[in-house]
Amino acid sequence: MEPPDVQYARSGDLSIAYQVVGEGPIDLVFVPFLISAVFSWIHPLFASFYERLASFSRLILLDKRGIGASDRPRTPPTLEAQMDDVRAVLDGVGSEQAALFGSGHGGLMCSLFAATYPERTSALVLYDPFARLPGTTEEHQRGIRRMRNEWGRREWLEQDIRDDYPSLAGDESFLRSMSLIMRASASPESAAEFSRTVAEADISDVLPTIRVPTLLLYRRLAGDFKGVVGALATRHPEEQARQVAAAIPNARVVAVAGRDTSPFVGDEVPTEVERFLRAPLAEPVPDRVLATILFTDIVGSTERAASLGDRAWRELLASHRAQVRRQLGRFNGMELDTAGDGFFASFDGPARGVACAKAIVVSAGDEGIDVRAGLHTGECEREAGKLAGIAVHIGARIAALAQPGEVLVSRTVKDLVAGSGIEFDDRGDQELKGVPGEWRLYAVQDG
């Protein structure tokens, strides 16, 4: 088969390259980590894998921002930004709902997408899944430095092939092709940036909110392995797959045969994906969705109103509300309620929520107002266009603990904005009124 035409979708101000193969009844988006779909067609191994998936689906392949034929962004490739790229491509091909297939580190973003947009996700397939990359911060930092210094070198590739493609070890033709594919897929700096996002991300709190049919696959191996990002951490396929399966409601886990850890080798992985997607699937639960909740309020509003007088206070409050609504529009936030001088809003991505909260605090300060803000990401129930549930209460309680001019967030928010460059100060474990347990909170640093 000839490689399909490369098309482009707009994701914000970036062009995202994508390809469509096959005419099956199921829309299937395949998301690897650092392999460019556009350029990997040069080797029969990858072409055969794509053709096999396309034999039972309309296969949608994309190069995420910073990868392959897609634009290089000026901002880090966060999971949230990668979700935007998938949505843009789905819109571009006219797909209202698709199954997502994430391999290894690509599964982090696919999992977050399925929880955030259940109405657009018919099913979720994860190969070699994990919620958080094993290893220490020091190990991850060493690995990122190695990515930057050794990406695409022969010694690196030989080790990668021994780990992920042992049946092709010593195949000089495959090594040459992989060298071209890796260098065309990402620059050393892009590879390091993606690796930093992977090393910092933790989707443990997201997994229980996934309500779409989910299949987890891993290779039944004698031991652990490293693979293309082996510089970051040694992975433990079976242990990690079963931990993820235990966290996702009703997830299925299947061990596939074969000694090559890469999903591209052999027919075992595509066969399991086809068997799963052809079987009758339970309907997703679109009335429950992962959302980032924002609460804001003016500190000392009663005293300020008394000192200004009714008319001046009403004018100041009207100006503040207009400014908040401008910021919500700027960051794609949804206003859900306004009570007194406070706002309750939601976002489909935590980084947008944090950026909006910071902008609200700064603009309020310019008006001489002290605003505090709190954010939490969690599963919410959708009721008549509103959001409800314990996540909403947690967001409100976090906001109540924020200091004047402070944006306070839960650990879940911090974990999900990995790679964004947002810095935090640890505020320690806190009790939230009416919410069981202790909650680790973080203040967003200025800048």
Q: Is 163 helix (H, G, I), strand (E, B) or coil?
A: helix
Is residue 215 classed as helix, strand or coil in its secondary structure?
strand
Burial 23-44 (b: 16+ CB within 10 A, else e): ebebbbbbbbbbbbbbbbbebe
For residue 325, give the nearest of 345, 297, 348, 305 by alpha carbon. Answer: 345
Instruction: Check whether 207 has a pLDDT greater than 90.
Output: yes
Q: For residue 246, what are the contacts with CB-CB under 8 A and spacing of at least 6? A: none
C-alpha 217/C-alpha 273 separation (Å) is 9
Least confident of 32-36, 172-176, 278-282, 391-395: 278-282
Q: Tell me what the mean pLDDT of segment 408-430 comes to.
A: 94
Domains in the chain, CATH or no CATH each:
7-278 (3.40.50.1820), 288-444 (3.30.70.1230)
145-155 confidence digits (pLDDT tens):
988 888 888 88
Q: Which two tokens stand for residue 293?
A: 């909740």
Angle at 384 between CA 378 and CA 386, to 5 degrees: 35
Helix, strand, or coil here: 320?
A: helix
pLDDT value at residue 322:
94
Strand duo 371-383 + 288-298: pairing = antiparallel
Lowest mean pLDDT among 128-132, 284-288, 301-305, 372-376: 284-288
Q: At what angle do helices 268-278 and 44-54 cross, to 10 degrees?
A: 10
Looking at residue 152, its pLDDT comes to 83
Poorest-pLDDT segment among 10-19, 154-163, 267-276: 154-163
Burial 277-302 (b: 16+ CB within 10 A, else e): beeeeeebeeebbbbbbbbbbbbebe
pLDDT of residue 424 exceeding 70: yes
If pLDDT is split at 50, 70 and 90, which confidence band does 233 have?
A: low
| Short-list 145, 240, 140, 268, CA closest to 198 | 140
- How far out from the chain centre does Cα 331 lie? 17
Measure the CA–CA gap between 164 and 227, rounded to whole angstroms: 5
Residue 162 binned pLDDT confidence (cut-offs 50, 70, 90): confident
Band the pLDDT of 303: cuts 50, 70, 90: confident
321 φψ region: left (φ > 0), alpha (ψ -120 to 50), beta (else):
alpha
Retrieve residue 32's tokens: 């690897």
pLDDT tens digits, one per residue of 92-149: 999 999 999 999 889 999 999 999 999 999 999 999 999 998 888 888 888 889 888 8
* Distance from C-alpha of 350 to C-alpha of 105, rounded to nearest angstrom: 19
Over the range 256-271, which residues count as b (16 or more CB within 10 Å of their CB) and which as e?
A: bebebbbbbbbebbbe
Which pLDDT does position 228 carry in this prediction?
47
Burial of 119 (0-12, 13-18, 19+ CB in 10 A): middle
Query: What are the beta bridge partners of residue 99?
Result: 28, 123
Region 260-276 average pLDDT:
94
Task: Note whether 363 and 323 are within 8 A (CB).
Answer: yes
The pLDDT-based confidence of 287 (bands split at 50, 70, 90) is confident
Q: What percent of the chain has pLDDT over 90?
A: 70
Chain mean pLDDT for the chain: 91
d(CA 36, CA 202): 24
Least confident of 167-181, 222-236, 261-275, 327-341: 222-236
Going by C-alpha positions, the residue among 54, 231, 12, 30 that lies closest to residue 127 is 30
- Specify the pairing of strand 121-127 against strand 214-219: parallel
Assess contact for 43 and 170: CB atoms under 8 A.
no
The string of DSSP letters for 105-162 reads THHHHHHHHHHH-GGGEEEEEEES--SB--S-HHHHHHHHHHHHHHTT-HHHHHHHHH
Q: How confident is the model at residue 202 (pLDDT cuts 50, 70, 90)?
A: very high
Q: Which of 97-101, 223-227, 281-285, 419-423 has the lowest mean pLDDT?
A: 223-227
- What is the C-alpha separation between 410 and 376, in angstroms, rounded? 5
Instruction: Give the predicted TM-score (pTM) of the model.
Output: 0.92
- The answer to whether the beta carbons of residues 10 and 91 sit under 8 Å apart is no
Closest CA relative to residue 354, chosen from 397, 300, 414, 279: 414
Q: pLDDT-based confidence at 396, cuts 50/70/90?
A: very high
Say if strands 98-103 and 214-219 run parallel, antiparallel, or are unpaired: unpaired
Residue 229 clears pLDDT 70, i.e. is over it: no
Q: Look up residue 209 and give its DSSP letter.
A: G
